[in-house]
Amino acid sequence: MHANSSLPAAAQVQIDLAERSYPILIGTSLLADTLTYQHLPKAATALIVTNTTVAPLYAAQLMQALQPHFSKVLQVTLPDGEVYKDWPTLQLIFDALLENGCDRKTVLFALGGGVVGDMTGFAAASYMRGVPFVQVPTTLLAQVDSSVGGKTAINHPLGKNMIGAFYQPQLVVCDLDALKTLPDRELSAGLGEIIKYGPIADMAFLGWLEANLDALLAKDPAALAHAVQRSCEIKAWVVGQDERESGLRAILNFGHTFGHAIESGLGYGEWLHGEGVGCGMVMAAHLSQRLGRVDAAFVQRLTTLIERAGLPVKGPVLSATDNAGRYLDLMRIDKKSEAGEIRFVVIDGPGKAAVCAAPDALVREVIDGCCA
């Protein structure tokens, strides 16, 4: 049944949130296996939400696996790309639900990357004030980050993920076979989110990534299985303690404050999310050093790994007149800002993160030093 006998049948990571707890399944041959979905809430209808890239690859397999559990399995296919993570595209999901008379037991299935997952989750949180949904992430980034933890959102022209809800799925299905069709650029973007977990929580994992990066880039199944599982374990540990980001969970945004500014400043989709995060981590590491929390050797170590993963380590110029000022303006709209003060996730010594403010002058120096 399994392509690689050295892999466990399916690893399971539990998200512990009392009555909202759910499992993350990690393994091969999961997506098309009808047994994967046997413990979901009983319902007459399922709606698969996917996009134009993923649908031809995996939608028929998922539909077939769901048919024994639902009398009706519907599908809506969204356009592909971060630029479509918006209200008009979200309405396509609501249109499909309403046109088919879907009730509040209908189960939504997010089949795709982070954009599909975020939008399906937000639709599920909103339709009839909440219907069940399942994450079936098909990109590395979605498997290790966006599908886990219940953050759902769409973008606004002025800021990324500014409109959304915390809403947990019933189940996350990480089928490693789906990564075989992943383009190299998307693989690198996922590695950005994986690398993040080392500096903030687990330096031994950072060392493992350094030793196994070539295997990951070659899509070695055993290496990917370990990287996905360890990333999910760290995220599960954080989310279990702070579901709604009132404190600890903010550390998962290491690199994201700078990264989101890059994404919205360039226009959504110009850089992939993981590319923004990779470059953002370099900037955040430099800021951590300037604040006296890590040394230059740590910054260099992290930068080298991010570059080896195929990610940008130099930020783009967002303004010809005042580049750092443009970054600062965009970062003030970030969700972590408080009363207009930007809150940065910094490395507070290797393996530990903290959230703090930093003087604009210092941040300007970092941006000026890190931009191409």
Cα-only R_g, the chain: 20
Contacts of 188 (CB under 8 A, 6+ apart): 217, 274, 275, 278, 309, 310, 311
Q: Which two tokens stand for residue 195?
A: 């690398």
Work out the pLDDT band at 334, boundaries 50, 70, 90.
confident
Express each pLDDT in 287-299 by its tens digit. 999 999 999 999 9
Q: How far apart are CA 325 and CA 227, in angstroms?
A: 37
Cβ 149 vs Cβ 22: under 8 Å: no
Statement: residue 2 has pLDDT above 80: no
Mean pLDDT along residues 100-120 = 98
Q: How far apart are CA 209 and CA 196, in angstroms?
A: 11
Contacts of 322 (CB under 8 A, 6+ apart): none
pLDDT of residue 7: 44
* Domains in the chain, CATH or no CATH each: 10-181 (3.40.50.1970), 184-370 (1.20.1090.10)
What's the whole-model pTM score?
A: 0.94
DSSP 44: S
Mean pLDDT along residues 39-57 = 97
Q: How far apart are CA 195 and CA 202, in angstroms?
A: 10
pLDDT of residue 6: 44
Statement: residue 115 has pLDDT above 90: yes
Statement: residue 4 has pLDDT above 70: no
Q: Which two tokens stand for residue 328?
A: 């600062």
Statement: residue 90 has pLDDT above 90: yes
Mean pLDDT along residues 302-316 = 98
State phi, psi for 24 to the nearest 5 degrees.
-105, 120
Q: How far apart are CA 240 and CA 295, in angstroms?
A: 31
Q: How far apart are CA 42 and CA 38, in angstroms?
A: 9
pLDDT of residue 352: 96
- SS3 of 200, please? helix
Statement: residue 14 has pLDDT above 80: yes
Mean pLDDT along residues 138-155 = 96
User: Would you please indicate which residues are annotated as catalytic (active-site) residues?
Assistant: 129, 151, 193, 235, 245, 249, 253, 256, 260, 273
Mean pLDDT along residues 232-258 = 94
Work out the pLDDT band at 158, boundaries 50, 70, 90.
confident
Q: How far apart are CA 279 and CA 318, in angstroms?
A: 14
Among 61-75, 144-158, 181-195, 329-343, name the one with the lowest average pLDDT: 329-343
Looking only at the bridges linking them, the beta strands covering 107-112 and 353-356 are unpaired
Identity of the amino acid at 354: A
Cβ 315 vs Cβ 372: under 8 Å: yes
pLDDT of residue 286: 98
